[in-house]
Amino acid sequence: MSENNALEILTGALTAGQIDTVDLTHTLDPDFPVIVLPPEFGQCARFRVEEVSRYDERGPAWYWRNFTCSEHTGTHFDAPIHWVSGKDLPNSSVDSIPTDAFVRPVCVLDCSKESAKDEDFLLTPKFIKNWEKVHGDVPGGAWVLMRTDWSKRSGAEYLNMREDGAHTPGPTGDAINYLIETRNIIGFGTETVGTDAGQSTHLSPPYPAHYLLHGANRYGLQCLANLDLLPATGAILVCPPLKIKNGSGSPLRVLALVARNTV
Amino acid sequence: MTKPLKRPPKKDPQKRTDSPTLPPFARSRKAIAFTTMAAEGRFALQVCSECKHISYPPREICPKCWSMDLQWQDIENGGKLISETVLRTSVNTYFRERMPWRVGTIKLDAGPTVLAHIHGDVGEFERVRLIARTDKSGQGVIMALPEKETPNMADDRQLRALTCDPKYRRALVTDGRTELGQCMAKALSNAGATRIFVGIAEDWRPYEGSDELAAIPGVEIMPLDVTDTISVNELAAEMGDKADILVNTAEYIRPGSPLDRHGVTLARDEMETNYFGLLRLMQAFGHVMRSRGADRDNSACAWVNLLSVYALSNWPVYGTTSASQAAALSLSQSLRGDFSGSGVKVINVLFGPLEESWRQPLPPPKVTPQRLADTVINALQEGIENVTLGPVAEDVVRRYRQDPFVLERELTQLQMGMGV
């Protein structure tokens, strides 16, 4: 099939309503939780807006605002340069990542039942291999998303912060290594506030998803929503971050193209 | 005894809210010095350096020896009521609305005879103690109180016009996540505030004391983040017309001078809370508060700022925080201008190092959050606008009055910091 034919098929399916565009993004809202680090470290800026004018003396016919946030506020993309393990890699900031990474097939590992039972659930290679027995191998170059239904939580339940830190699911280092080395994925995404588990500072290496993914020049997505609307395989992920010079990440709109009735 | 104030009934929604009217506000420049001391709760008069004559009212020169060297000094406040008048008519709108009104002359033990408002519990020719306070026009006046405490004394309506008593009023505490905010809410409740709205930012993060805070009588937990304009505006839309007293407990403090810091992110966070947070609160709550300065017995009456004493002069150990506090102090002065003539007081409490985690390495003496909260209540009940709290703050203010440039040198010299 030629490239032109492939696009024709896609546009035909889009206009015929055979493809759903699923929004995997949380609304940028000042009150949406951000990652909380020990207070002596620098903190992630919250999303904020200030009006410039609203059909008033500051601008009679127009409404516009300034917004401020971190590169890691809300649903956001992590570039390899975000982590010390990826700091010297080529094309590792959001403005220099090859754009084909932003439109890729996506696999969804459904860990929602396990995460409901165990808020510190860790995704293992065994879990992935069992998933592959049902759905086939994770294709090379794909995005892999870890569905936990965490995005359905709100307020204090979301960070699930206690005196010993946050309690949220995430991957083990072995799982990330398997996905990178054996399956050559392009990136890994979660519904929680980070790609790593809440207690991942106690894993070895600490923050294994960040350390290993970015050390291998792979990407992260977090604070995703609506993963329950995606099929295990067969969808296309669209996730271009803002083109920020030397950006370590960026809030973004994440979409998935899903063939209707495949869920 | 004073007839106890009744809890104000719910407002009749068909009745117009009275606009604030004012007692006479014109004062000479000398008399403004009296106002300034009255705002600190001090009863001070001019004493001639040459002949020791005590002047009243404030004058340019000594009426006895014509010396121009008159110094303000705290004066013994005991005296005796020697004559009184009950005003039953006046061309002044403020007094017309508040008839009858007692005024009288007091012979001070210290010498002079002064004109004063008279508390309802003072009998004819009785001994009194005098206080100087600012009235609804923001100017210094004298009031004669019974020599000894009488039942429900604070409810006297002439006295209540000079104070910001929390009794039967509704208050907003802007940050209840800290021990300070929680002590403040509790103290307001104990002082008789009927509703205490307590702002909580980011309820998706747990905080110590949350259950105890919610259990304080009258406390209503409200979402409020002073760094978020939308949040501040939403809360003002919900309860802004019920903020009779606003106590801004939101504070962001980090150690470090400009050269201790790496970048401006922390300094920005300090400004977001300490300066822009205050500005957001002013813009959201200030208009309705100043329009409610004469809104019956639970009128809007006080805006309370809690500021580090290093707002006056920078202490490099907390250098950039001090700078943001200085910005807040300057802004509070501007709010005084906006509230001038509204009958709503701006109360500034300058405190020394607080007993809390970001000041943990500092040596004593420190101010406990409980003591700061109690001090705010006292300032409200007494109607005092400028308060200095704690030995460190008192020392800094004393030296500031002597010479702010010398103080600046002292605070910024090597090793001077930690000893302050």
Do residues A144 and A107 touch, judged by C-beta distance below 8 A?
A: yes
For residues B388 and B242, give the distance between their C-alpha atoms in angstroms, rounded to a whole number.
28
Question: Phi and psi at residue A164, in whole multiples of 5°?
Answer: -100, 20
First to last CA, chain B: 46
First and final C-alpha spacing in chain A: 26
**Spatial separation of the C-alpha atoms in residues B143 and B162, rounded to whole Å:** 9
Closest CA to B41 of B115, B117, B133, B166: B133
Is residue A164 less than 8 Å (CB to CB) from chain B? no
- pLDDT exceeds 60 at position B227: yes
Contact between B89 and B50 under an 8 Å Cβ cutoff? The reply is no
Cis peptide preceding B365, ω within 30 of 0: yes
Please give the structure tokens belonging to residue A102: 């932003």
Burial status of residue A83 (CB atoms within 10 A of its CB: 0-12, 13-18, 19 or more): buried
* pLDDT, mean of residues B152-156: 97
Look at B118 and B18; give whichever has higher pLDDT.
B118
Contact B347, B303 (CB under 8 A): yes
* Whether pLDDT at B26 is above 90: no
Which two structure tokens, joined as six digits, stand for A216?
Answer: 């291998």
Cα diameter, chain B: 70
Q: Which of A49, A154, A159 is opposite residue B205, by nearest beta carbon? A: A159
Q: Rounded to 5 degrees, what are φ and ψ at A15? A: -70, -25
Q: What is the ipTM of this complex?
A: 0.93
Residues A46, B227: C-beta atoms closer than 8 Å: yes
Alpha-carbon torsion angle B161, B27, B93, B244, nearest 10: -30
Return all residues near B207 (Cβ < 8 A) that are at least 6 apart. B177, B200
Residues B180-184, mean pLDDT to the nearest whole number = 98
Instruction: Judge whether A42 is closer than 8 Å to chain B, CB to CB.
Output: yes
Q: Which element (helix H / strand E) includes B350?
A: strand B345-351
Torsion of CA B210, B167, B306, B391, to 10 degrees: -100
Check residue B418 and give its pLDDT: 52
Please write the tens of the pLDDT for every residue from B315-354.
999 999 999 999 999 999 999 999 999 999 999 999 999 9
pLDDT tens, chain A, 263 aa long: 555 799 999 999 999 999 999 999 999 999 999 999 999 999 999 999 999 999 999 999 999 999 999 999 999 999 999 999 999 999 999 999 999 999 999 999 999 999 999 999 999 999 999 999 999 999 999 999 999 999 999 999 999 999 999 999 999 999 999 999 999 999 999 999 999 999 999 999 999 999 999 999 999 999 999 999 999 999 999 999 999 999 999 999 999 999 997 54
User: What pTM does this model have?
Assistant: 0.95
Amino acid at B58: P
Here the tokens at position A204 are 């070895």
Helix (H) or strand (E) holding B185: helix B179-190
Nearest CA of chain A to the CA of B280: how many Å?
A: 11
In whole angstroms, what is the distance from residue A78 CA to residue A82 CA?
A: 6
Q: What is the mean pLDDT of chain B?
A: 95
**Residues B202-226: b if buried by 16+ CB within 10 A, e if exposed:** bebeeeeeeeebeebebbebbebbb
Confidence of residue B142 (pLDDT cuts 50, 70, 90): very high
- pLDDT band at B415; cut points 50, 70, 90: low
pLDDT at B419: 45
Q: Which residue of A has its CA nearest to B255?
A: A40
Nearest CA in chain B to A37: B205
- Cβ contact A155–B204 (<8 Å): yes
Contacts A158 to B, Cβ<8 Å: 204
Q: Is the dihedral of CA A119, A122, A127, A131 positive or negative?
A: positive
Check if B266 contacts A (Cβ < 8 Å): yes
Q: How confident is the model at residue B414 (pLDDT cuts 50, 70, 90)?
A: confident
Would you say A72 and A248 are in contact if contact means Cβ atoms under 8 Å apart? yes
- Predicted confidence at residue A219, as pLDDT, reads 98
Put simply, whether B231 touches A (Cβ < 8 Å) is yes
pLDDT greater than 90 at residue B417: no
**pLDDT at B63 > cutoff 60:** yes
Q: Which residues of B23-54 are buried (b: 16+ CB within 10 A; e: fewer)?
A: beeebeeeeebbbbbbbebbbbbbbbeeeebb
SS3 content of chain B, % helix, strand, coil (to 5): 35, 20, 40
User: Among the listed ranges A59-73, B12-26, B163-177, B371-385, which one has the minimum average pLDDT value?
Assistant: B12-26
pLDDT at B25: 86
Mutation target among A46, A73, A163 for the B interface, most CBs of B within 10 A: A46
Q: Name all domains of chain B by residue range, CATH numbers in brackets.
A: 29-160 (no CATH), 170-419 (3.40.50.720)
| Cβ of residue B208 closer than 8 Å to a chain A Cβ | no
Query: What architecture is domain A21-32+72-259?
Result: 3-Layer(bba) Sandwich (3.50)
**Which of B323, B303, B327 is closest to B314 using CA atoms?**
B323
Q: Do A174 and A124 meet the contact criterion of CB atoms below 8 Å apart?
A: yes
> What's the CA gap between B362 and B366, in Å, rounded?
8
Which residues in chain A touch residue B204, judged by CB atoms under 8 angstroms apart?
31, 33, 154-156, 158-159
Q: What DSSP character marks residue A178? A: I
Q: Pinpoint the alpha helices (H) of B79-142.
A: 93-96
Lowest-pLDDT range, B101-110, B203-212, B340-349, B411-420? B411-420
Task: Give the separation between CA A55 and CA B396, rounded to whole angstroms.
Answer: 48
Q: How many angstroms from the chain centroid is the CA of residue B291?
A: 19
Catalytic residue among A82, A135, A167, A202: A82
Q: Are B136 and B208 in contact (CB under 8 A)?
A: no
What local confidence, expressed as pLDDT, does residue B416 receive?
47
- How close is the nearest chain A Cα to the Cα of B241, in Å? 23
By Cβ distance, the residue of B206, B223, B228 closest to A161 is B206
The model's pLDDT over B229-253, given as tens digits with 9 standing for 90+, comes to 999 999 999 999 999 999 999 999 9
The answer to whether A82 is a known catalytic residue is yes
> Which chain A residues have a beta carbon less than 8 Å from that of B206?
156, 161-162
% of residues, chain B, pLDDT over 90 = 94
- CB contacts, 8 Å: B205 with chain A: 33, 36, 156, 159, 161
* Chain A interface disruption, residue of B177, B202, B273, most A CBs within 10 A: B202
Interface test with B, best of A43, A48, A161 (most B CBs within 10 A): A48
* Of the partner residues A45, A158, A162, the one whose CB lies closest to the CB of residue B204: A158
Q: How many Å apart are CA B191 and CA B304, to the nearest integer?
A: 16
Residue A173 to chain B, least CA–CA distance (Å): 28
User: Angle at CA A107, nearest 5°, toward A104 and A112?
Assistant: 140
